[in-house]
Structure formats: C-alpha cells, structure tokens
Amino acid sequence: LDVSRHFMPKEFVKKYIDLLALHKMNTFHWHLTDDQGWRLEIRKYPRLTEVGAWRKETLVGRHEKDPAKRVFDGERHGGFYTQDDVREIVAYAKARHITVVPEIEMPGHARAAIAAYPHLGVVDDTLEVLTVWADNQSILNAEMRTVEFMQDVLTETLQLFPSKFIHVGGDEAVKTLWKSSPRVQARMRELRINDEDELQSWFIRQMSVFLTKRGRRLVGWDEILEGGLPPSTTVMSWRGTRGGIAAARQGHDVIMAPSSHLYFDHYQSRDREGEPLAIGGFTPIDSVYAFEPVPRDLEARFAHHILGAQGQIWTEYIKGPKQVEYMAYPRMTALAEVLWTPKSRKDFAGFMQRMGTHAKRLEILDVGFRAVER
C-alpha cells in the first residue's frame, strides 16, 4: 500500500490489515517514502516529516505532458506516522499473523527527502516536495555522507519493524543528473565504477551489507539487477516476470509483482467512463486469477526461489480509503485464491460463483469493493 502519494489515516491502515488477514495474506508491504511525501518519523532527522511529509498542492486529473495544461487543487496535503503509530500498527498486524515490510526508497524516488535535506541531492537548488506524478529526475548523490544518512534512517526503521525483509526501492532511478554531474562522475572514478548502473549497484550494496550485518535481508524492485547484486538480496519483479526469472536463475529469492497482472491501481473495466480516474492499464479480475507466481519459463530447479506474489496499490490517483478498497477488492480476493490454491484446482467460474457469498461478507465489513461482473 502506497501512502506516499496520498496519505492514509492510521485507522484505515489497520482496516487494510484486517482485510489482508481475512484473505490469509501474511505480509503487508508498506510504501512509506517517495517523491510526493515522506511518511515515517525519523527522530534523528526531523525535517523528513516537518518538510518532506507535506506538499503545497496536488495535481487534479490526468498528468498532462505540457506543464501549462496541468491543474492543481491549491490545498496542502500530507501527514506522517509517528514511531508510536508504527509500533501500534506493527503490533496490530502481528496479532493477525501479518508481517509488515517497510519500504524506504533510494536512490531514486527521493524528492521528499532531498526537499528536507538538500545536501542529499545532486544539484544545489532547494527543491519542493513534488506535486505531480512524473517528470522527476531527483536522485540521491553517492557520497558517504548520504549513504550514512540513509543508513541512519534504516537504523531507526529496524527498531520499528522486526521483519526479516527491508525494502529499499531501487526502481526508476533516473540517472540523468548522475551523468551530468562533475561531482558524481568524480565519485565514480574514485570508486573505480564504470557506469551509472554500476553506481546504483554500489549504493544498494552498501545498504545490503548494512542490513545483513544486522540480521536482515534487502528487498528491491527488479531494476537493482542491472548492476549486479549480493547473494542475499531479494528481487521484487514488477516489470513483468523476466526480472524475477533472471534473479531466480542467479540464485536470488523473488517476489512476483508484475504490473501486467498485479497492479491494482489499473482500470478494472474497459469502460473507463464508468470508473474512477486511474493511472491507466487494464487489469480485470480474470487476469489476476489467471496469474501463476512460478512462470512456465522458469526451470523447476529454480522454482524454490519464488517466495510468493504481491498485489500493488499505488495511490497517485487514489485519494482516500474507500477508493483504495474499490481498487483492491475483489482483485485482492482473486490473488489470495491464486496464492493458496494449487494450480490444478483453480476454477475461475467457481471462484466467481463463490464471490457472491464473499461479497456479502465485504458488505458487512463496510468495504467499498467493486461489484463483480458475472
């Protein structure tokens, strides 16, 4: 659940966990930081929430490529979870047999952090927390001061989250500023690094070693494969399943999260006029149900590296709890059955018939789910 693009209240996060438990999901991946908001209190660096948790306004409607055509609401948006809030939520999840895995994005998707602490960035300009959903090239620099800053953040994160896995993002790190920065290029020469992909790999490796020494395991999106990885790193494959297949063949554990089947911020119907505005795509419930976490192309000897799969709720166009529920359910219900049912016993027609009864449960629980089309 992405709470960075749009902040979600603590009580709703608990309800979201209740619904995961209802569907026998055992892990809650909590996307806490991004360009549009930093949501986790870090006591050593208070400006992360004093500044980074708030943006001056939010884009209204579709993200237009032409900045002159963009419309904003003019309303300050934000919020964050105190460390006490986090402890409460983690304990709440544990009581329901759910592990909470936090995500702290790096080195890209770091605009909110750089807005709070400009020395983390590549350029000297003071930036604002991002108010749009794209067009961002902000990226952390690769100086040891910045590495140590992010490790300080992880130190406090580890104190709050006992999970074995800690997610550090690693996706969509636009390296344009690295390529054009004399300071970054000098740093690469100092480290004897040949290109920017390798520099990202070096950055991620610093975090992996840090986490491994503390008995944890790093998880990152599949872009982290591009410069090489330490053996203990786990890959979350979102750009289809190819990244997951490559990672498994290299001996890495994998969580499948392909946008083609498991991005629940996509439209649920081809009739977009009758649906809430979404980021795009088309992921109907039958596509979710058809997904198989272990790809056919993956050799059987590597299949044990596929730990499971995950449904994503990115909230660029999802402003509040009821819309989260509408986008998540019943697609999350379909994913739960996919993950708990042997392939030979999957039956989409039977699932849809049973959804009639399950829909009544969701109604009683006041879940704003999308009615299934049968």
Whether pLDDT at 84 is above 90: yes
Share of the chain above pLDDT 70, in %: 99
Band of the pLDDT at 136, cuts 50, 70, 90? confident
pLDDT at 137: 87
Peptide bond into 330 cis (omega under 30): yes
Tokens of residue 290, six digits = 């058809």
Tokens of residue 11, six digits = 């009580």
pLDDT at 230: 86
- C-alpha distances in Å from residue 258, one per residue of 161, 169, 226, 264, 363: 26, 15, 17, 11, 29
pLDDT at 237: 98
**How many contiguous H segments (helices) and E segments (strands) does the chain have?**
14, 13
Q: Which is the catalytic residue, given 172, 195, 226, 292?
A: 172
Kindly provide the residue ranges of all beta strands, DSSP E only, lying in the chain, ordered along the sequence: 27-31, 33-34, 37-38, 54-55, 59-60, 71-72, 77-78, 99-106, 165-169, 217-221, 234-237, 254-256, 306-309
Parse the chain into domains and list their residue ranges.
Answer: 10-364
- Degrees, nearest 5: CA angle 150-156-162: 115
Question: Is 128 one of the catalytic residues?
Answer: no
pLDDT at 374: 60
The mean pLDDT of 147-158, rounded to a whole number, is 98
CA distance 196 to 297: 30
Band of the pLDDT at 231, cuts 50, 70, 90? confident
The mean pLDDT of 5-31, rounded to a whole number, is 98
Q: Which is the catalytic residue, given 6, 29, 109, 167?
A: 109
The mean pLDDT of 40-56, rounded to a whole number, is 98
End-to-end CA distance of the chain: 28
Tokens of residue 327, six digits = 């986008």
Whether pLDDT at 27 is above 90: yes
CA distance 312 to 265: 7
> Sign of the CA dihedral 137, 138, 141, 142?
negative
Tokens of residue 181, six digits = 């920065």
The mean pLDDT of 39-51, rounded to a whole number, is 98
Q: Which is the catalytic residue, given 2, 34, 196, 253?
A: 34
Strand, helix or coil for residue 217: strand
3-state secondary structure labels for all residues of 29-77:
EEECEECCEECECCCCCCHHHHCCCEECCCEECCCCCCHHHCEECCCCE
Question: Is 172 one of the catalytic residues?
Answer: yes
Given the candidates 3.40.50.2300, 3.40.50.11540, 1.10.10.10, 3.20.20.80, the CATH classification of the domain at 10-364 is 3.20.20.80
pLDDT at 121: 96
Over residues 14-25, the pLDDT tens digits come to 999 999 999 999
Say how many C-beta atoms besides its own lie within 10 A of residue 63's C-beta: 14
How confident is the prediction for the chain on average, in pLDDT?
A: 96
Band of the pLDDT at 348, cuts 50, 70, 90? very high
Over residues 87-97, the pLDDT tens digits come to 999 999 999 99
Over residues 178-226, the pLDDT tens digits come to 999 999 999 999 999 999 999 999 999 999 999 999 999 999 999 999 8
pLDDT at 92: 98
Question: Is 190 one of the catalytic residues?
Answer: no
